[in-house]
Structure 1
């Protein structure tokens, strides 16, 4: 029997929930109760959440953690991180504390240029199109004047517009390639509005250009859209200290640690299989802050990974070296972020996170986010080249295992104590819980928490 439905969007929220529960769940009442459990009791706030997207049935929560002790360009931060993965927040915090006593993190925005394109087909003489564009370009700026005037007051606007010939890739394919400065907004709506006006002006002006034949004047606009690849909207985060100061782990010398750390980065620079996981760890830190601050982590992810492959193969985003006895670890990453517009003024927790960070502008937020990625990467490489990644991660993951196994608070305490000196695995945790449960609960504290 088909479950297709017509006019679903016109149903009330309650009707949507009932249709979903009755059509897809064996226990419809339990499904409805679960959805209502995550419904906010504040009606105004819930209505706000419901209007973020379409067809909402409830809210989906992620943990919001904080990573303290970050020093960036001499300023102290506590960084918000919205993420479900164990050990990410702890690792970032540990890195922050490590580097706070070694000069802290330095971050610099290298550029803030964003990109949008009008993709179109033209099958006439290319020189005619070039001449047409030279006459068209001033009109493109004029036609978007109403759209850009407020952005220009804030120091932004359209930086340049180029005609790009892509006919070597697709027959008749050309672009209007535009660059933008959007200041503290991410700028997607602004850029797309400008591009659509470019398209309109292009279509209006082509039929009256005196050099075009009638056939040439029929330029076909395929689409107008911003690009989430922003190779000229880049921030650098870095740390450095004398090699001798890399002395926190007593089981490895600072010199050996630096040598192994640099080798691990070099492997990620040349080996794609390693680079993907290496960069995923960086994105653990970046995405968590991007989500917490109400920015688009999908756009950031897509742009970052394209940037990682900009030289023809997918490679590490971070780099490390030792020169004149100084260890340096750095990261260049493209980040198109905003601190005004979108969810930044609507979502209460997003506003909370921005205030926690001191209400930064877009450039400062770029620096904070890049540092979070570098801190996470440092923590991961430090573990990989010393104790191994699983020791710390699995101990952080232990709480998830215990919750899956239905452990009570006393059992959790005893199990955590046991695995301080034992290797964590799901089966080992299950076996230990079984052992606990064969004992009188009153004796657990005496026998296992001494």
Structure 2
């Protein structure tokens, strides 16, 4: 049995790699692989981003052009390992740029924080004193929120809710606006500052004081932001859908597309994959701009279940002549602070997007999600998803099979009009080599 490693974080990068290779009995040449991806000049920046850094994990930084969003043209940066995502986004963006573009609007930007506490009273008693409590917490946090309030943010409201299936456990749901910041640290600092004042108010108030006094459990922001919403729409006359219709008429394509979306609205198995297609685009832009894609994913997936059943984040309306497709999604994004201001390529992504506000970034990200989802559903109801996906994936398969430059050229030519799969490419190379 191997012994635990003591003081690992205090070791140098080289010492960490040495311990790794020795303890896990790995090939010594692995150390060279780690060294190859160390940045020669700016490694100190990447070392500060995480803990126990031994190398950097590279992902492609790609561009999807021709995003016409509210009549403004963007080239959208995307960080993702799947080439078909960038290709699909670019194709859809080009198509919609000629057909009205993406029409977007921010519905609201409210984010949530929670203070959990135990108390023997009833939630409705706290609601009675809501205005008084709100006044107290605003006063207690005045120094922390001053700069945020100057930028149009701050604490917006407070609600009191009980916790299902937990007797005597309550929450104060605090609503925030955080301007151009994602706001996680700001919200958490506010919550931890005002929580003691809330508890003291309950324990010292004659009408609320119970034998079982209020006790703080924890204070933390929530990544569920059902009010921090952006809407993205694409609309056009049905006949203009012909470039995506394949062997179908434009009207048949629109009807097939509508059926596919309605399946995703009503069937959770399909809805998960349908929404994953949306997040192919969303996550790629969120990651490129240095935002927290895990928080975005968690919040949006919860939002997809808000009615008690997991469903599509998109809705559709197809008449005899018009095609209207809408995405509504919560996106708690920021354009200042954290990785956004420190990672060189996150800063570059912001420059590419002309230094957007948080609200404009929400609209750009939603448009990327719409573009990828539209392309995916269009493929599904015409040629199938694999034809285009595997064509673009061919280069990855060839690299995995260590094909030479000449072998790649021959394989690309061979599979131009053939089905692509890993086993078929492997068989083709083996026959060629043999």
Matches within 5 A, 1:97-136: 97-124=94-121, 129-130=126-127, 134-136=131-133
Deviation at 1:412, TM superposition (A): 0.7
* Distance in 1, Cα, partners of 2:40 & 2:123: 62
What SS is found at the alignment partner of 2:254? Answer: helix
Deviation at 1:233, TM superposition (A): 0.5
Is 2:235 the partner of 1:240? yes
What SS is found at the alignment partner of 1:69? Answer: strand
Kindly tell me: are residues 13 and 371 of structure 1, through their superposed partners in 2, closer, same or farther at Cα, counting changes over 3 Å?
Answer: same
* Distance in 2, Cα, partners of 1:271 & 1:214: 48
Q: Give the match for residue 148 of structure 1.
A: 145
Q: Give the match for residue 300 of structure 1.
A: 296
What do residues 141-174 of structure 1 show as CA deviations (whole Å, max 9, x unaligned)?
Answer: 10000110000000111001122233x5311011
What SS is found at the alignment partner of 1:55? Answer: coil
Question: Which runs of 5 or more residues in structure 2 are unaligned?
Answer: none
* Distance in 2, Cα, partners of 1:71 & 1:332: 18
Deviation at 1:208, TM superposition (A): 3.1
Is 2:350 the partner of 1:351? no
Scaled by the length of structure 1, the TM-score of the pair is: 0.93
What do residues 284-338 of structure 1 show as CA deviations (whole Å, max 9, x unaligned)?
Answer: 0100000000000000000111111111100011122213511111100000000
Matched residue count: 433
Kindly tell me: are residues 161 and 434 of structure 1, through their superposed partners in 2, closer, same or farther at Cα, counting changes over 3 Å?
Answer: same
Kindly tell me: are residues 69 and 124 of structure 1, through their superposed partners in 2, closer, same or farther at Cα, counting changes over 3 Å?
Answer: closer
Question: Which runs of 5 or more residues in structure 1 are unaligned?
Answer: 439-450
Deviation at 1:134, TM superposition (A): 4.9
Deviation at 1:69, TM superposition (A): 1.2
* Distance in 1, Cα, partners of 2:222 & 2:375: 32
What SS is found at the alignment partner of 1:306? Answer: helix
For the Cα contact (< 8 Å) 1:25–1:31, is it kept in 2?
Answer: no
Which of residues 308, 322, 327 is equivalent to 2:323?
327
Deviation at 1:128, TM superposition (A): 5.4
Q: Give the match for residue 448 of structure 1.
A: none
Deviation at 1:381, TM superposition (A): 0.7
* Distance in 2, Cα, partners of 1:236 & 1:258: 21
* Distance in 2, Cα, partners of 1:190 & 1:63: 32
Kindly tell me: are residues 122 and 330 of structure 1, through their superposed partners in 2, closer, same or farther at Cα, counting changes over 3 Å?
Answer: same
Matches within 5 A, 1:143-182: 143-166=140-163, 169-182=165-178
Q: Give the match for residue 2 of structure 1.
A: 2
Q: Give the match for residue 222 of structure 2.
A: 227
For the Cα contact (< 8 Å) 1:132–1:209, is it kept in 2?
Answer: no
What do residues 325-354 of structure 1 show as CA deviations (whole Å, max 9, x unaligned)?
Answer: 111111000000000001111000000011
Q: Give the match for residue 20 of structure 1.
A: 20
What SS is found at the alignment partner of 2:242? Answer: coil
What SS is found at the alignment partner of 2:68? Answer: strand
What SS is found at the alignment partner of 1:137? Answer: helix
Scaled by the length of structure 2, the TM-score of the pair is: 0.96
Greater C-alpha Rg: 1
For the Cα contact (< 8 Å) 1:118–1:198, is it kept in 2?
Answer: no
RMSD over aligned Cα, in angstroms? Answer: 1.6
